[in-house]
Every structure is written in structure tokens, then in C-alpha cells.
Chains A and B, each alone.
Chain A
Amino acid sequence: AQSVTQLDSHVSVSEGTPVLLRCNYSSSYSPSLFWYVQHPNKGLQLLLKYTSAATLVKGINGFEAEFKKSETSFHLTKPSAHMSDAAEYFCVVSNSGGGADGLTFGKGTHLIIQP
């Protein structure tokens, strides 16, 4: 069994300040982990993925995430928020096979950017 918990349903930051979106997971296998972003009334877009290579993963739009096995965490960060980053973010865990039918989505974190 696997699960994913996004620790904050809403995060609000000022433009130009750092972003931290927290994600904890549980998995019986060596997991693959993903972050997706969804802008209002749109589909999801892959930001980055971890698949047992480097523990610090760089993604698009300046985002990165660090896989910490000891803490079972995969937090998403960005050094400086931009207004266009306002969106819903989903942390996703997959079983060891990595197949999309084995994905478990977190409930999402709504990121608000204050001008």
C-alpha cells in the first residue's frame, strides 16, 4: 500500500520570496515521486520526477525537490516566487514499477502569490 500526504492545503507567499510545498509519502517499495502543477480549469503538467537517481531533482520553471528517504519526504521548493506560480500543486507517488495505473495523488496544495 502507498499513500501521500500534502501537509498544507493552502500556502500563501509574497512575490519574490521562497516557496515551500510539503509532501510526505509512504510506500512498501522504492517509490517514484512526482510533482504536478494545475492552473485553474486546466489539466496537470509535470514539474519534476524522482526515480531513484539523484536525490535533488530539478524541474521546470525554477522548481526543485529533494527526496529524503529517512524523512519519507519530497518537498517542493523555489527560491523566488512569481505571480505565474499561483496554481494547485499535486505530489504523486508510484509503486516500484512506476506505472501510471499505480499512481496515488495527494489532495493538492493551493499556492497563492501575494503581490
Chain B
Amino acid sequence: DGGITQSPKYLFRKEGQNVTLSCEQNLNHDAMYWYRQDPGQGLRLIYYSQIVNDFQKGDIAEGYSVSREKKESFPLTVTSAQKNPTAFYLCASSIDGETGELFFGEGSRLTVL
């Protein structure tokens, strides 16, 4: 079945540590996105990529980094510079970046201890 796989589903981190969240898709979509979700809030865009080896900052990119070396993969690193990293992180893809129709993974919940 085609879809988006995020891992790990749950992750605990000590303050000062970097952590990388994985996102893989087999939908052959060009565009991929990372969102952050906090309780009672909508989704906020962290980074997005519309093509391999290229990505752009979203609304809340500070303290995060990404790479897009392969079409299928768009990992997100939460660095120690992110002051409030505890959140639910969602990866999504769209067929060409021109539509608002997104396909989402099941999310990764990061807790900083």
C-alpha cells in the first residue's frame, strides 16, 4: 500500500540533544512537508521541499533542519537550539506542491525530559 511512514512514533530526548525524525513516502510525490502540532493549535509549517536537493523554510524553521537527498525521504532534525521542542510532528506529501491536498503520516510525538 502507498503511504507515508514516520518513525519513531514516540521519542524521548534530554535537553541539549539533537534528534532526527524519519519520514519516508512511496507515493512518488514531488513535494514533502513537516508540520508541528501543539494542543489546541492548528498545524504550523516547519520546512517544505518541492524537489530533491531543495527545501524552503516555513513559518517556524528556527531550531530545525532538514535534508532532501532522495525523493522518498525527508528527515527532520530537531536541534538543541529549538527552545520548546516537545510536540507532535507530522510529515506530509503532495503530488506536485501546487495543490493543498496533502497526505499525512501518522506522526511522531517528541517529549523533551
Contacts and interface: CB of A to CB of B under 8 A. Distances in A.
Which of A36, A44, A90, A108 counts the most B-chain CB atoms under 10 A from its CB? Answer: A44
Nearest to A101: B48
Contact of A99 (B99, B103, B105, B109): B99
- The range of chain B's interface size is 20 to 34
Contacts of A90: 42-43
Nearest to A46: B101
Interface string B94-107: 10011111111111
B78 interface: no
Contacts of B21: none
Contacts of B31: 100
B93 to A, nearest CB: 9
A94 B105 contact: no
Contact of B100 (A45, A100, A108): A100
A87 to B, nearest CB: 13
Given A43-B6, A100-B101, 16 more contacts: A4-B42, A43-B105, A43-B106, A44-B102, A46-B101, A46-B102, A90-B42, A100-B92, A100-B94, A101-B45, A101-B50, A101-B97, A102-B100, A103-B45, A105-B42, A108-B42
Interface of B: 4, 6, 31, 33, 40-45, 48, 50, 56, 58, 90, 92, 94, 97-107, 109
Interface of A: 4, 9, 32, 34, 36, 41-46, 49, 90, 92, 94, 97-108
